[in-house]
Amino acid sequence: MAKVAVFLAQGFEEIEAVTPIDYLRRAGVEVVTAAIPLDGKVDVMTTGSHKIAVKADMTFDDFISSCADSLPEGIFIPGGMPGASNVASCSLALDFIKKMA
């Protein structure tokens, strides 16, 4: 089964995250959501740009650990501000994105 990771950072655009997650899961794709840390704070709860709280499946650190044996087939990073900036400020996320590319 294909696996796709969705990175959720504080301030992500909710519709850009939830809709693709829903569509991919309906299509039989395994989707795992990972919460990007912000300023060293690690939490599975993320809040979108329109103040909708979403609980990620795991923290980004736990996601990285889960990839020790195999990488997902794809990653998806919802936009939105300041979510996009928060992903860009996470060096671990950027390193993983480069590794996937």
Q: List the pLDDT tens digit at each of the 101 positions of the chain.
A: 789 999 999 999 999 999 999 999 999 999 999 999 988 787 899 999 999 999 999 999 999 999 888 899 999 999 999 999 999 999 999 999 998 88
* The pLDDT of residue 1: 74
Separation between Cα atoms, residue 2 and residue 9, nearest integer Å: 23
pTM greater than 0.95 (yes/no):
no
Separation between Cα atoms, residue 30 and residue 5, nearest integer Å: 8
Distance of CA 46 to the CA centre of its chain: 10
